[in-house]
Copies of this chain bind each other. A is one copy, B any other.
Amino acid sequence: MNKEENILKDVVGIGNAMVDILAPADEAFLAKHNMPKGGMTLVESPQAAVIYEAMGPGVEMSGGSVGNTMAGLASLGGTGSYIGKVHNDQLGGIFHHDLESLGITFRTAPALDSSPTARCLVIVTPDGQRSMATYLGACVELGPEDVGADTIRNHRVTYLEGYLWDAPLAKEAMLKAAKLAHDAGRQVALTLSDPFCVDRHRESFRDLILNHVDILFANEQEIISLYREENVHAALERGRGDCNLVAVTRSAEGSLIATSDMVHQVNAVSVERVVDTTGAGDLYAAGFLFGITHGYDIATSGRIGAIAAGEIISHVGARPEADLQELVRRTL
């Protein structure tokens, strides 16, 4: 490593910056508000207001897929930055605080007079599953001007969220970031985010992956949907043809990580009680990216991902409660 490589940070994440509002409700609530169970639905402001009014008392915490990953990376002892758009309001202040207080640099200029900070209304059904309605608010203002060339160059990996693809300006920001990263000899990672998101963008996601992505994160359902294959192994074959590294999470069955010449199988970390599975994929990505940016081999990086995912599913919420660095030290 030369001197420049030494001062690089690990990961710069680009994502939809939002605050989660969690409340319990039954299946009838989901049906009434057209929220597919286990999925994420985009809603406009009036619909978000209707759903929120119908929800019981909530608990608020910072969220967003890549935001969760960056919080996990920091807890593991990694370094990084976040690019995302909040409004200059109280929820934006909370989101900003919750990353900066972990040491993640978050300097994207907030929107001043547009829509408020995004929120994700999270309905937790009695079976512990989460169904989400997201109002993107200020997120749709994230654009290429928010992606600084120096920031991208100064991080080993640029990590992108599939959800960004829903907003035209954010899409441009993603493409700009990917190009800057490759021009500087850095790596680009992408998470497919959500099966519904894959459904919305199948063709353009395939182009994006083929042309701009080195490391792809997906769960089984997402990658099968992306390539319209019969099973995860066939889909993984397709994926490894499109990029260097594909990591597929499979809940209790652990994960599969494919490179051009090998498929690693990594076991899940057993958890006393699965409380809330949301954030499992986000934290797996945190652990895996921490691993590969800290000199661990691919299988060990997957194992770190499994440890981080195991912590997140053992409590409510998608931000780590335990010190993940300590947990990895004890468990690895």
Binding site for B on A (CB under 8 A): 21, 52-53, 55-62, 71, 89-91, 94, 97-99, 101-102, 116, 317, 319
- Among residues of B, the one whose C-beta sits closest to the C-beta of A119 is B90
B102 touches A56 (CB 8 A): yes
> What would 10 A/B residue contacts be, using CB atoms closer than 8 Å?
A52-B97, A57-B98, A57-B101, A58-B97, A59-B59, A59-B60, A59-B317, A60-B61, A60-B94, A90-B90
Q: Is the CB of B59 within 8 A of A102?
A: no
- Chain B, residue nearest A100 (CB): B53
A118, B173: Cα distance in complex, Å: 37
Closest to A92 in B: B90
User: What's the Cα separation between A116 and B99 when bound, in Å?
Assistant: 23
- For A53, what are the chain B residues with a Cβ–Cβ distance below 8 Å? 97, 101
Residues of chain B within 8 A (CB-CB) of A61 are: 57-60
Closest residue to A317 on the B side, CB-wise? B59
Whole-angstrom CA separation of A62 from B97 in the bound complex: 19
Output the least CB separation between A97 and chain B (Å): 7
A315 nearest in chain B by CB position: B316
Partner of A98, one of B58, B98, B101: B58
| A91 cross-chain contacts in B, Cβ below 8 A | 90
Residues of B within 8 A of A62 (CB): 57
Which B residue sits closest to A59, measured CB to CB?
Answer: B61
Chain B, residue nearest A21 (CB): B94
Query: Nearest 8 CB-CB pairs, A to B?
Result: A60-B60, A57-B98, A90-B90, A59-B61, A56-B101, A90-B91, A57-B101, A89-B90
Q: A52-B97, A56-B101, A59-B60 are in contact. List 12 more A-B contacts (CB 8 A).
A: A21-B94, A56-B102, A57-B61, A57-B62, A57-B71, A57-B102, A58-B98, A59-B59, A60-B60, A60-B61, A60-B94, A90-B116
Contacts of A57 on B, CB cut-off 8 Å?
Answer: 61-62, 71, 97-99, 101-102, 319
Highest count of chain B CB atoms <10 Å: which of A52, A60, A61: A60
Contact residues in B for A55 (Cβ distance below 8 Å)? 97, 101
Measured CA separation A91–B116 after assembly (Å): 13
Q: How far is the CA of A89 from the CA of B92 in the complex (A)?
A: 12
Which residue of chain B is the closest to A319 with respect to CB atoms?
B57
Return chain B residues, CB-CB under 8 Å to A52. Answer: 97
CB A26 to nearest CB in B, in angstroms, measures 12
Q: Which residue of B lies closest to A54 (CB)?
A: B101
Residues of B within 8 A of A102 (CB): 56-57
